Structure 1
């Protein structure tokens, strides 16, 4: 195990209040004033022995060896910023807030991690503009060593840290104190806790499609591709739930209201942003906001070259995850081979191929295969290109887009899956597809094995949840199957390529049938808009088990007219049911109709 480097440090976090609002109103003047503020802040931090290890322009995080020097620095630059604002004639008067905490931290190169960083940042978010908020440990260290007045400011609820975190304000004189001696200590919540009665509820996120802020509309594929990649990254983190890319893009395409979208999908947090590309330069602006309060918890802007987009995605995921969960809870971020390729041409072809795949037309299917071939030609080690090629061939077979011998295309798809797994044995797309292939071939144990591997790698992808959930329901684990299928419905109500939720509800009728919860099976079956054999059979069989079967029922008659052609045995066989007794019971029911 690699040695972890630790040290005791004083962390200062400071942020410019309402910076984004001012940028929308007076962009150039705001930037000018921001630069002037940073010309005050940065040298003072350095003068007092501090080191800035993270900055987003309108925010700074620095570490100091001494809490006394840190407090002196903060007081000095806050006083200087106040004086400057008195002389500002043009543009907004920018105010800053400061949070300071002392803690044991982990150092990794130039970066610092740990709860000490999180606490300082959360104190800063609780601080009033123009002031400095301290934790108790800082107050204890500096109270007798500085000439400033340190006053109690009550308690704060800091997410994942404490509901009763004691804090203090520091001021030059008694008149400047931010405390009401007559009032009891106040409590201000930074964010609502993501807890429910009993067990903890996982935070649910949505990443909204980024706006394309550049002049080149042809770069829409890049904006959408980065969003889809970020959704995949977050979906691999077990501590989160995240709605599917299809659900997020539907939000944009339908012009839905954000508040209504958040309520429908029971979101806790929303990530939004924009992208501007010019040549090889890419600028991404991001904001993380809390749904309940509407408050922006974090925002940042990144300027990179396109070749750095993979590292940028890692940085974004890590930063947002830390801000919501804390450093100690993100072990699932440590995954191998997340980068599709180091070759930017291969990556761009991969994104264009995925864009075409998602259109679900014959022409787009053909174009997608061409783009994936180009991605593979540019970088044969691009495992995702091989995996998505297999997925696109499967789409072409199922939807009749590919003309010719189906066995030939199936062979090509399996070859692509094999190539992808050889390059990256942890590609969840490949295991997801292999699970479906083995289920169709009645190789149930292999279907379960690959479904489990896909789920272990990506526990939030709705396609993984649906496929693995169906397999588990068939193999004697209907409770877990129902859980995964209900989650797939919640995160991705209308799957990609579909117009409604019929596929989700149909899968659930199978799971509730196996669970022998016949009432729920019937209830779910009523939500299927267009009749299909699978849900029709399970719903009517459930009615017979409950004694509510009616031969005059219109729904029963509609199914008989539509499905009673040919052999019932073949139709039941296509349901891929492993238990012969179950098959026999269903066939007996059908033959008695």
Structure 2
């Protein structure tokens, strides 16, 4: 007779292991009491795990194994577990106290389930988490360096450096940190991210670098789930989330254009330039949407939209829909304050034609920005963005469609395909400077520098104040690239001008890092500037590490990372790095370019 069939799925996850310290002794002393305490323990843990989006994979005796899609959520859940147990223990006699140790790691995990409902998880991510948990004592949460570096300054707790340890049946040393979940121990925090922490023990700088690729590639897609409480940024500005509009038209043509996404992006472009609020990165919003199980086909209700915005770290949220009634379009939108659930503004425009839709975004955004001034006192009338969205982007829906598709393709690693879509956007609207700038970037990454020059020249000629002085990510990239390319054209005697332009380029890229910390582009461009403008290879690698965590497998990042390694350690080290890349991403869109570069390194 055959047993139950088993299904498997492999994905990147954050694994949490827990067990009760001294539970076997508790069972020997008083089995009935031990079972009573175990039931209470299970209730406390299950509640906190569920509350932070985790999933209990299995329990075995006094042990829990749970999986999270967010390192920050896993850390917060385990901190609350220890806090709840400490509060409980304070009123209990010693024999009724429950002390738990916890270990957390992020990595590649194989999840299994059978037809009878039994679930399990296997793989390196599970093994390391289990061994880290065994190193902890009662009341302690130990995390791997991966989890520490991801969540540092993203959770309201500090860390104590425990050190590098050899763990049973783990082939590599693991750097461990203790999560200081108890506020009374905050002063013990002594750990902060640093590439210089003991690398010589593991093969020098390149040993650390090559190890980092596997770690960060494994965790990159799960780490950028922000805390739902992060609704105010360090400068005091409230955060605003723009959710893609729903397409309720039933129009096949508009569905092909992904009109709901275009309208959402157009609103985001306007709020990029509205300085009194901090626009939450669209990448963060996409991660939150996927993390909650939604996709572009999902029908989202008000509660769903609020959940996405909170998960993305937003206080304010703009959402809307496009309908079709009696032969005309109806555009509706709402501005909501999630801190108290209040609707701050509503917008509705009937009798709109397809040609007017992008223009209506201007009216919608001006109305909502005015409401922020009038109701919340955020900003002044002088801050309201008057530039038409068509000047920030394009008035052509078809051009906008190709722009978005091109952006998705080239950021997904299909660089030349993306570049061609961006070219089509420019061909449909020759004034679409942002599309031309992105096309130039894509051709640069593809090493087609003649076409890069053509499209950057178009971007320069068509750019207005919005691109030359704006604060959107696309505008800042354009400004940095413009300064970089201008510096390259300066004469040999113009050293001061060249240095000033290079400083300007780096400043623009690092502004992206500051304003949009979840976006890989700021880190990538900053790394390139450090490498090629300043010759600061180690500083460049630090940025490339961050960029690769946010877009794992994207080969341009790893190419420039390899060039930085080459400048420090030579061709062999760079070749080893790219060999490791191919082990991780050999089936991805960057594999062909990686093999070509690897052959060149080995042949030189």
The bucket for the TM-score relative to the shorter chain is: 0.3 to 0.5
Q: Which has the higher contact order (CA 8 A, sep 6+)?
A: 2
Q: Point out the structure with max Rg over C-alpha.
A: 1
Give the TM-score normalised by structure 1.
0.41
Give the TM-score normalised by structure 2.
0.41
